[in-house]
């Protein structure tokens, strides 16, 4: 059974990685030609597509930095709010707290388009539409329920003996959260933050409806490139896709141990 499971995981990994491998080859100038039999590879290894991005896409790197900044700030804000909410629910004596926790999951599962039109009008009213703070707050609002739901599962299983001892020693709530609760939940907080960052970075509908000219996010930029580019070139498109997904792949590779611990904790 274990060998069959390993084989299944290998096949799934290959299927998932094939599009990325094809994109990588296309970005460096290698493209399959299926007009001949048998199919052959055309072109040679080259960095021309990456150089062309800097020439044709004047603000590309600035927009990439903006997307990274928004995703980092939104995930940090969401994890802060979610952590406080999760702790409050975990230590609450309310009988309905389990209903509230399940409601967080339902709220996190709602499609963003369900409330984005109302949020768009609200941001226009408070003059935060198409601004960096407006997008960050909107992204954090979208992610906070999921953060609270996940962190609740960590905190509710943690023993309260150390917290009670800290209270007896005169520690206030802020000190207990910072010096007692947070260090013990740090693996879960780190892994959850990474997941929130990836979800924020890949969000499409929110930046599409809440931004116009001043703030541009990478999913919208990639969409515009594929729909508006007249002289479409696959090497250039593949290079843009590769650069866009590189931060997510790099983050997942660097934090794979935290994500593994996160997955193991959820299984428990």
Measured CA to CA, the distance from residue 178 to residue 186 in angstroms comes to 11
pLDDT value at residue 258: 66
Helix (H) or strand (E) holding 86: helix 60-90
Reported as a single tens digit per residue, the pLDDT across 182-239 is 888 888 898 899 999 999 998 888 888 888 878 888 888 777 777 665 556 777 788 8
pLDDT at 254 over 60: yes
DSSP bridge partners of 41? 32
pLDDT value at residue 68: 92
List CB contacts of 202: < 8 A, sequence separation 6 or more. 219, 248
- pLDDT level of residue 1 (50, 70, 90 thresholds): low
**In sequence order, which ranges of 110-178 are alpha helices (DSSP H)?**
113-125, 132-155, 161-168, 173-175
Can you name the CATH fold of 53-267? MetI-like fold (1.10.3720)
pLDDT value at residue 243: 85
Segment 32-50 mean pLDDT: 68
List CB contacts of 196: < 8 A, sequence separation 6 or more. 74, 75, 78, 79, 143, 146, 147
Reported as a single tens digit per residue, the pLDDT across 67-80 is 999 999 999 999 99
Would you list the domain boundaries of the chain?
1-46, 53-267
* CA–centroid distance for 196 within its chain: 4
Reported as a single tens digit per residue, the pLDDT across 136-178 is 999 999 999 999 999 998 898 888 888 888 888 888 888 888 8
% of the chain beyond a pLDDT of 70: 84
pLDDT at 260 over 70: no
- pLDDT level of residue 93 (50, 70, 90 thresholds): confident
Ramachandran quadrant class, 115 (left: phi over 0; alpha: psi -120 to 50; beta: rest): alpha
pLDDT value at residue 105: 86
Measured CA to CA, the distance from residue 80 to residue 87 in angstroms comes to 11
pLDDT at 95 over 70: yes
Measured CA to CA, the distance from residue 249 to residue 234 in angstroms comes to 21
- Of 110, 111, 136, 107, which is closest to residue 210 (Cα–Cα)? 136
Block residue for tokens 């909107």:
138
φ, ψ (nearest 5 deg) of residue 31: -135, 140
């Amino acid at each position: 059974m274990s060998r069959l499971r390993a084989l299944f995981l290998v096949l799934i990994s290959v299927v998932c990685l094939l599009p990325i491998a094809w994109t990588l080859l296309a970005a460096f100038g290698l493209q399959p030609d299926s007009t001949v039999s048998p199919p052959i590879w055309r072109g040679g290894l080259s960095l021309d597509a990456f150089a062309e991005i800097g020439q044709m896409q004047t603000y590309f790197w600035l927009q990439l930095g903006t997307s990274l900044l928004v995703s980092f700030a939104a995930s940090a804000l969401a994890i802060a709010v979610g952590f406080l909410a999760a702790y409050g629910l975990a230590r609450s004596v309310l009988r309905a707290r389990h209903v509230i926790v399940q409601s967080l999951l339902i709220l996190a599962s709602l499609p963003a388009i369900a409330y984005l039109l109302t949020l768009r009008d609200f941001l226009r009213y408070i003059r935060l539409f198409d601004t960096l703070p407006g997008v960050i707050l909107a992204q954090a609002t979208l992610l906070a329920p999921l953060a609270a739901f996940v962190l609740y599962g960590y905190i509710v299983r943690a023993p309260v003996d150390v917290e009670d001892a800290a209270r007896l020693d005169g520690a206030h709530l802020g000190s207990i959260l910072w010096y007692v609760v947070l260090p013990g939940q740090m693996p879960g907080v780190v892994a959850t933050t990474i997941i929130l960052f990836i979800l924020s970075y890949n969000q499409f509908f929110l930046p599409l409806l809440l931004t116009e000219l001043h703030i541009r996010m990478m999913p919208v930029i990639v969409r515009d490139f594929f729909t508006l580019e007249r002289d479409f070139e696959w090497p250039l498109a593949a290079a843009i896709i590769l650069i866009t997904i590189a931060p997510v792949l790099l983050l997942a590779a660097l934090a794979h141990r935290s994500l593994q611990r996160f997955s193991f904790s959820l299984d428990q």
